[in-house]
């Protein structure tokens, strides 16, 4: 699909109900599957990643039904998003109903879903994982999690040196139990000493989260030791919050480089209520910030563990006025954002708000001066390389800058990353005068890149034609409709 996004002819306005949190939904559904009894997930995110998780969990023995507001059962798929009110989950528990799927499991293009389920699937005697997105998820490294699972006695067969899909695990509860017993003898550990698994945090926090979900299922006291510089710490906090709410106690060091999960713990069934999605809302707020004089209210934005709420102080530093509103029991708290006549460049630690960085880069393209995004190395290992690939697209836009006589900075100097071989900082010099646009850009198969380019299009006189725009459904299927709701013209070509 090609989405032609045009600049609005007047400031944006409206009241927006954002999508529900993808990261909370996937964790709520997973712990519900790991619990005994019936759990309910109210207002779940309905997008590609969550759909993939539900399908994989069903194949592993969970019963999951999507219900409408009237209580009717409906298929859990993106096309039904507006009608789905809740998910009712009967889990497979710690192991009694966990079954080996007859066919290979396919998580689609969902990296977090795959990695968290990969750890849980180590309890199966044999399971194979595949993907139909070998150009994206198939390129993402998993070797750090594989090394951790091998420490538990799991045999893992994979492609390449980085632990790529397809992948087969040979594990099972008895195999893991026997391996730990052998290692206890070798290490002269007492029965009440915790067994330690070491995992690197250099590439992704998802590996640590995956082990935290697995740990209570092992009938062992497990210590998870995280080495290196742990990425995306807020997502570890999200995992810890969900585990605690489900009845599992995790003792963690203040630096979150060590986690202790005691033996004999069980996940309990919970009735979950899903907050609004901060990553998607960062893009909504970013679209408003990019259009001078706009004023929009976004509901259901709680001060929870989602790190992407760091976009709020960033947009404030750029000159936006953002007011917190209390809301009510149905809508929850809200934010009202008002954009200034001219944005100022700002800086942010991207590791604290990983999934908001590209939206903020889109706003930076319209700002006066330099914006810096630091500690963003892990962006290289997402659906696409979110450092190099979006900058390639933004440079195309930069070449259409208005008032070319004012182009005092070459394109490569206005948009660059460092160090060159392993980027950890992105520099963006904006152009408040805007761009001509009228060019084709590529969404790179990445939902965050598509939202980034949509924001930039709002400051292009002739807009932008975004190819591969259908991939926005991975996290925000209603993105283009939300833009329309605020007053943006979007034409879709299939």
Active site residues: 355
* Tokens of residue 366, six digits: 């319209």
* Tokens of residue 395, six digits: 């440079």
d(CA 136, CA 130): 12
Q: What phi and psi, each to the nearest 5 degrees, are found at residue 492?
A: -110, 135
Q: What phi and psi, each to the nearest 5 degrees, are found at residue 456?
A: -65, -35
Reply yes or no: is the peptide bond before residue 401 cis, omega within 30 of 0.
Answer: no
CB 11 within 8 Å of CB 294: yes
* Tokens of residue 143, six digits: 């070797």
298 pairs with which residues across the strands? Answer: 16, 335
* Tokens of residue 237, six digits: 């906090």
Cα dist from 186 to 8, 33, 180, 262, whole Å: 68, 35, 10, 22
* Tokens of residue 343, six digits: 């944005």
d(CA 330, CA 327): 8
| Backbone angle region of 467, left / alpha / beta, with phi > 0 → left and psi within -120 to 50 → alpha | beta
DSSP string, 357-411: HHHHHHHHTTSBSEEEEES-GGGGGSSS-TTHHHHHHHHHHHTTBSSGGG--S-H
Contacts of residue 11, defined as CB under 8 A and 6 or more positions apart, other chains included, come to 291, 292, 293, 294, 295, 339, 487
d(CA 144, CA 142): 6
* Tokens of residue 190, six digits: 């007492």
């Amino acid at each position: 699909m090609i989405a032609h996004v045009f600049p609005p002819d007047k400031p944006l306005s409206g009241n927006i109900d954002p999508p529900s949190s993808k990261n909370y939904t996937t964790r709520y559904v997973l712990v519900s599957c790991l619990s005994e009894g019936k759990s309910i997930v109210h207002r779940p995110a309905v997008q590609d990643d969550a759909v993939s998780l539900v399908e994989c969990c069903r194949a592993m023995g969970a019963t999951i039904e999507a219900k409408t507001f009237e209580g009717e059962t409906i298929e859990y798929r993106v096309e039904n998003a507006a009608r789905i009110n809740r998910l009712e989950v009967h889990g497979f528990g710690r192991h009694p109903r966990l079954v080996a799927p007859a066919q290979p499991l396919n998580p689609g293009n969902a990296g977090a879903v795959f990695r968290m389920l990969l750890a849980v699937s180590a309890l199966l005697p044999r399971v194979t994982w595949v993907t139909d997105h070998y150009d994206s998820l198939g390129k993402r490294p998993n070797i750090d999690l594989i090394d951790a699972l091998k420490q538990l006695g799991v045999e893992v067969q994979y492609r390449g040196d980085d632990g790529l899909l397809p992948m087969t695990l040979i594990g099972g509860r008895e195999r893991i139990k026997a391996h730990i017993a052998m290692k206890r003898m070798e290490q002269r550990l007492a029965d009440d000493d915790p067994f330690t698994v070491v995992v690197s945090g250099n590439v992704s926090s998802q590996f640590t989260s995956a082990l935290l979900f697995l740990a209570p299922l092992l009938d062992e006291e497990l210590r998870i030791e995280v080495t290196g510089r742990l990425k995306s710490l807020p997502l570890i906090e999200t995992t810890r919050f969900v585990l605690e709410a489900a009845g599992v106690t995790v003792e963690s060091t203040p630096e979150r480089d060590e986690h202790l999960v005691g033996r004999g713990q069980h996940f309990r069934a919970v009735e979950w209520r899903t907050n609004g999605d901060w990553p998607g809302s960062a893009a909504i707020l970013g679209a408003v910030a990019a259009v001078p004089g706009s004023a929009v209210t976004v509901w259901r934005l709680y001060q929870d563990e989602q790190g992407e709420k760091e976009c709020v102080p960033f947009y404030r530093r750029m000159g936006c006025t953002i007011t917190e509103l209390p809301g009510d029991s149905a809508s929850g708290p809200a934010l009202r954002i008002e954009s200034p006549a001219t944005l100022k460049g700002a800086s942010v630690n991207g590791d604290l708000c990983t999934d908001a960085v590209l939206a903020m880069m889109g706003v930076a393209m319209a700002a006066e001066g330099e914006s810096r995004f630091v500690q963003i190395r892990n962006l290289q290992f997402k659906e696409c390389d979110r450092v190099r690939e979006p900058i390639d697209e933004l440079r195309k836009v930069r070449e259409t800058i208005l008032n070319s006589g004012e182009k005092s900075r070459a394109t490569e100097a206005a948009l660059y990353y460092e160090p060159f071989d392993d980027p950890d900082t992105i520099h963006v010099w904006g152009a408040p005068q805007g761009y001509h646009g009228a060019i084709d850009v590529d969404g790179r198969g990445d939902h965050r890149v598509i939202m980034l380019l949509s924001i930039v299009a709002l400051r292009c006189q002739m807009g932008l034609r975004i190819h591969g725009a259908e991939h926005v459904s991975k996290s925000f299927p209603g993105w283009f409709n939300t833009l329309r709701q605020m007053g943006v013209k979007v034409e879709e070509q299939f």
